[in-house]
Each structure stands twice: as structure tokens, then as C-alpha cells.
Structure 1
Amino acid sequence: MTLQALIIEDDLAVQSFLQTLLQSQNFNVQSSGSGQTGLQILSSQTFDLVLLDLGLADLDGQQVLQQLRQWTAVPVIVISARGKEQDKIQALDAGANDYITKPFSAGELLARIRAALRQHQGTVQTLQFGKVLIDPVQRQISKAGAPLHLTKTEYDILLLLLRHAGNVLTHNQILRQVWGEMYQGRPEYVRVHVATLRQKIEDNPATPQFIKTEAGVGYRFCST
């Protein structure tokens, strides 16, 4: 079976290398040198794999990753010259399946691609807790079978909490991932949106079953 891959990389030499490598593995490949164009391609076509560079000229790759995760669960492997631990953590927290630092060998990249594809094939496309069902690919959510409308911010907070279910996320972690770096130190933003989110997904918002408050720290998502 031929798989579809998208390369988002503005270094033409690296882009050409990746394209040749993937084509040798029976991928149909499209390439984009900009984050905005890459997102437009992703929104109109279905892919099995995305290779994403962080150092793009128009959009930082972290922003591209955050945006595409709003509607697609496609496996994403970040390829970057940034080797700092914080860059890796931020990309993985934002939804990257893997992170490989330049320079790298063809064999290592192909091994990571195989692992990402295996992992994706074994995942369930829908997420469910209680009466709530989420389709992250179609960006649809329902409760007890009825469509449920969430604002973009409420939806992003919910998916972030779900991705880290069982772990405490601080107010600043949520602010950074959902609003951006400039909003850190504004926990009231998170409190207001979590309150409205609870009104929509919890049976009893006054005693929430799923989104638990960690006093003075942040929130923890509990699926049971």
C-alpha cells in the first residue's frame, strides 16, 4: 500500500533528501517550504505522515504543530536543528509523535517513522469519557449522543487535559499551550474557561467528576 507523506521544511537540500528517502520507501510525497502552506495542504488532503521542521521562515514549527493538532491525529515527526531539551519537551507536549535532531542518519529516521506508523495504527481515533465522545480528526464532540458545542479555547483546553490525563497541568502550562507564551501569569483566563467547560461536559459542575482542581496549582483530568 502506498502511503501519503507531507514534508514541511524550508531547507531545499534537506527537503530533497527527505523526499528521495520517503519515495524509496513507497511513499507519495508532497513538500512545502512554509508553515502556512503546509497547514493549507493538510486541511484539504489526507496524509499518513508529516515530517515537520521547527525553523520555518513564516511560522515557527511549534505553532504549526499546535494548529494541525486541532483537527488531525496524523503522525508527526519533528526534524530540527534545535537540540535543547525544552524544545523537545514543548514539541512532544504539543502533540508530536517523535523528535529527531539534525544531523541524523537515514536508517534512524526510517526506524522512527516505522514506530510512529505502528503506534498510530494501534490508536483509536475517537476519545471517550463518561457520556462524552470526541472525534479529534473531524473536530466533533457529543454528550449522550447529542452534539456539544465548545468554543475553540474550551476544546483546546479539553484536548490538552485529555492528552495528559492523570497528570497535573499548571495554570502556566495550560496558558502557554492554549494561549501562548505572552499570557503566562494570567490564571484567571484558565479558571473562567474551565468553569464554562465544566458546565458543558460535567453532569454536576459543582462537584466535577473529570476536571479536578489542584488548589493553587492547576487542573488534573480524571477519566474514572
Structure 2
Amino acid sequence: MKILIMCGDPQVLKDLVLCLKIRYQNLEYTVSDNITEGTGLIETLSPDLIILDSYLLDSTTQNIIISIREFSDIPIIILNTIGEIGSKVQFLEDGADECIEKPIR
């Protein structure tokens, strides 16, 4: 399984990668901390899953989801700040498949 992780928070990224490595030893993952690079990687890597941090500095998460959905139906999981219910609903309406609150437990 190939996963593309787009995350701008080094600690969240570190925790997430550690959890994934422990649970899925054969997992291939690629990391991007900016949307331009990440979107390009979607097209070249053809990942099976995208994990997208809701806190990326170079674009809004809503725009990213809509942009990805214009050319791909790859499942998208959003890492959302705890307690932001309104944004969670919006992300799902825009095409995300799931929202997980961070910090990840």
C-alpha cells in the first residue's frame, strides 16, 4: 500500500509515521509539507490513500480536497484540529472520506 502524507506539522508527521510503521511494516509512504509538491506527487505516485493535515500553510484544506477531487477518487483522510466540528462537516461535504481529530491517540 502506498500512502501520500501531506502534513505541515513535524510532530504530527513524526507520530503518524511511527504509528503507521509499527502497524503496517510493508507500507510505502511519501511525505510532502506543501500542497504544490503534494498535488504533483498524487499524479506521479498514484497512492492508494492520502492523509492530509488540515493545517497546511500554502492553501486551505477545502481547496485542496476540491482540487484533488477534480482528477482523482483516491480516499482522503483529513487530520483535523480537535473540536472543529464545522470544518469536519465541510471537509466531508467537499469530498474527504474521513476526518480524524488530532492529536492522534
Letter in 1 for 2:19: L
Alpha-carbon offset, residue 101 of structure 1: 1.1
Residue 21 (structure 2) pairs with residue 11 (structure 1): no
Cα distance in structure 2, aligned partners of 1:43 and 1:82 = 30
Residue 103 (structure 2) pairs with residue 103 (structure 1): yes
SS at match of 1:92: helix
Looking at CA atoms only, which structure, 1 or 2, has the larger radius of gyration?
A: 1
Identity across the alignment (%): 27
Q: Any idea what SS the aligned residue of 1:44 has?
A: helix
- Aligned residues of 1:35 and 1:60 also touching (Cα < 8 A): no
Matches within 5 A, 1:1-224: 3-24=1-22, 25=24, 26-81=26-81, 83-105=83-105
Distance in 2 between the 1:42 and 1:50 partners? 8
Check 1:82–1:60 CA distance in 2 against 1; reply closer, same or farther (3 A cut).
Answer: farther
SS of match in other structure, 1:38:
helix
SS in 2 for 1:77: strand
- Are the counterparts in 1 of residues 80 and 88 from structure 2 also a CA contact under 8 Å? no
Runs of 4+ in 1 over 3 A off after TM superposition: none
Q: What is the TM-score with the length of structure 1 in the denominator?
A: 0.44
TM-score, normalised on structure 2? 0.90
Q: Residue 35 of structure 1: CA displacement? A: 1.4
Structure 2 counterpart of 1:101, one-letter code = E
Could you tell me which runs of 5 or more consecutive residues in structure 1 were left unpaired when the two chains were aligned. Answer: 106-224
Q: Is the 8 A contact 1:52 1:79 kept in 2?
A: yes
Any gaps of 5 or more consecutive residues in structure 2?
none
The AA in structure 1 aligned to 2:30 is: Q
Aligned length: 103
> What's the Cα RMSD here?
1.3
Q: Is the 8 A contact 2:5 2:52 kept in 1?
A: yes
